[in-house]
Amino acid sequence: MKLTLRIWRQKNATAKGNFETYQMDNVSPRMAFLEMLDALNKKLVEEDKDPVAFDHDCREGICGSCGMFINGHPHGPVPAITTCHLSMRFFKDGDTIWIEPWRAKPFPVIKDLIVDRKAFDTIMIAGGFISVNAGAAPEANSILVPKTKSDMAFDTAICIGCGACVAACKNASAMLFVSAKISQYALLPQGRVEAKERVRKMVEKMDEAGFGNCSNTGACEAECPKEIKLVDIARLRREFIKAF
């Protein structure tokens, strides 16, 4: 395949960015999207040009490092996958592909497609934990959890913290991200003890970081690579109201 890439290039946080155009020949449909960018970078280095910077690590859709806006969608046009799992078989010869970083005030651009997602860690540090020291835990089977509850908790616990929900939202809301963690702990007896404190602290930090509010458009749910659901946001709201 021959492709035209229009990639956002930005030297650093303060520089003004712009789209640059790159031509790619010989792209195999069996390549992963990031492998296509690897090939571009190989070429750029051979021409002694600055390669495109992007975050990536596990390349199997679980670490949450990668994430870019591809043709107007976080993680590209295919639902329920991360950028690293996006295959080039979903594109066709002659396509132009637009590649941008996450755009949200709480996620400033560091370079090119790399953004700073520290704000997510800050929210987690505020309350995304159950307070138990190593050595203090009771015997595992002394805590019984109904299988349905446990499975529901798992379905929210699989959030990878990539930030696609924020990038997809017109308000740059982090509600889906926060609600996933709140829901996991709200559904488990272990998490109930600190539930009120947790939701207050996490929401407070979320607001402080400058994330917007939720207006129920559902863009986050539609773009989440792990299919976290809007119902979790509803649960977050309930937990929040109960916390005062």
Partner 1 sequence: MGKLVSKIPDGPLRNKWTNYKSSVKLVSPANKKKLEIIVIGTGLSGAGASSSLGELGYNVKTFCYQDSPRRAHSVAAQGGINAAKNYQNDGDSTFRLFYDMIKGGDFRAREANVYRAAEVSNQVIDHYTALGVPFARDYGGTLDTRSFGGVQVSRTFYSKGQTGQQCLLGVYSSLNRQIKKGNVTMYPRREMLDLVLIDGKARGIIARNLVTGEIERHSAHAVVLATGGYGTIYFLSTLAVNSNASAVWKAHKKGAFFANPSFIQIHPTSVPQLNEFQAKLTLMSESLRNDGRIWVPKLKGDKRPGNEIPEEERDYYLERRYPAFGNLVPRDVASRAAKERCDAGYGIGDTGLAVNLDFRDAIKKQGKKAIEEKYGNLFNMYKTITGIDSYIEPMQIYPAGHYTMGGLWVDYELMTTIPGLYAIGEANFSDHGANRLGASSLMQCSGDGYFILPVTIGNYLSEEIKVPKITTDKPEFEETEKIVVERLNKFLSIKGRQNAASFHKRLGKIMWDYCGMVRNEEGLKKALGLVRELRDEFWKDLNVPGDSNMVNQELEKAGRVADYFELSELLITDALNRKESCGAHFREEYQTPDGEALRNDEEFAYVAAWEYGGEGKPHILNKEDLKFEEVELKVRSYK
Site for partner 1 in 134-193 (CB under 8 A): 134-141, 143-147, 150-151, 153-154, 157-158, 160-161, 184-185, 188, 190-191
Residue 219 C-beta-side C-alpha neighbours within 13 Å: 18
Number of residues that bind partner 1 (CB under 8 A): 79
Instruction: Provide the minimum distance between the beta carbon of 19 and partner 1 in the complex, in angstroms, as a whole number.
Output: 19
**114/164 with CB nearer partner 1:** 114
Interface with partner 1 (CB under 8 A), residue from 19, 23, 77, 89? 89
**93/170 with CB nearer partner 1:** 93
**2/216 with CB nearer partner 1:** 2
The pair of three-digit structure tokens given for residue 134, joined into one six-digit string: 């190593």
Return the exposure string of 167-191: e unless at least 16 CB atoms fall within 10 Å of the residue's CB, then b: bbbeebbbbbbbbbbbbbbbbbeeb
Q: Which of residues 4-63 bind partner 1 (CB under 8 A)?
A: 11-12, 28, 30-32, 34-36, 38-39, 41-42, 44-46, 48-51, 53, 55-63
Q: Which of residues 193-232 bind partner 1 (CB under 8 A)?
A: none
Instruction: Provide the minimum distance between the beta carbon of 142 and partner 1 in the complex, in angstroms, as a whole number.
Output: 9
Residue 104 backbone class (left: φ over 0; alpha: ψ -120 to 50; beta: rest): beta
Backbone angles phi, psi at 134, to 5 degrees: -60, 130
Interface with partner 1 (CB under 8 A), residue from 23, 130, 231, 238? 130
Among candidate residues 153, 150, 129, the one with its CA nearest the CA of residue 202: 129
**57/207 with CB nearer partner 1:** 57
> Which DSSP string do the residues of 175-204 spell out, in sequence order?
HHHHHHHHHHHHHSHHHHTTHHHHHHHHHH
Instruction: Provide the minimum distance between the beta carbon of 215 and partner 1 in the complex, in angstroms, as a whole number.
Output: 27
Instruction: Provide the minimum distance between the beta carbon of 206 and partner 1 in the complex, in angstroms, as a whole number.
Output: 15
Backbone angles phi, psi at 129, to 5 degrees: -160, 165
**58/216 with CB nearer partner 1:** 58
> Are 147 and 190 spatial neighbours (Cβ–Cβ below 8 Å)?
no
Which residues have a Cβ under 8 Å from the Cβ of 216 and sit 6 or more positions away? 230, 233
Using rule CB under 8 A, residue 93 touches partner 1? no
**41/217 with CB nearer partner 1:** 41
CA angle 170/183/80 to nearest 5° reads 55
